[in-house]
Structure 1
Amino acid sequence: MGSANLRKISTVVSLVMSKFTIGNRANISAGEHNTRVAVITYDHVARIVANFTDINSLGDLSTVLNKIQVSNTADANLYE
């Protein structure tokens, strides 16, 4: 995937995740539930970009997704 498709996926993920309450501090006994989110990228190697504890809001997720860059590794098989 090239940079244009990476941005499209980032936008779609943000739109889908906007329907969820993202966070790590749910009070389950009070009926509060949160969705935990982590981000992993891969080209020829998988990399943890953000752990479950790093993303506590939709803004955090958007920031993480917008910082992801297209790999310049020949092994990544990127196509526009």
Structure 2
Amino acid sequence: MPPPLLSRTLDPILGVFTGVFAYYLYERHPRTALPEELRLTSLLRWKREKWQQERERKLQATEDPIDWQVIAASVEAESDKQAPK
């Protein structure tokens, strides 16, 4: 294992910062001129909206009315069976 340049904890932090900063400069540089719909923030926003819609669809499909009184009655009946006589 090579010796750390600055310290064992600062080297990874510096590496992550450098990578994020380089990607930021890549997206914002006029030469690359990425359209707004291809930038990371808009792609992440699109993915999150898609995930939320899918989650809502699943919740709507599996939503069954829960009858808490039936559940409470079954728990009481079960506890009455197990109670010592």
TM-score for the superposition, normalised by structure 1:
0.27
TM-score for the superposition, normalised by structure 2:
0.26
Higher strand share: 1
Q: Which has the larger radius of gyration?
A: 2
Higher helix share: 2
Higher relative contact order (CA 8 A, sep 6+): 1
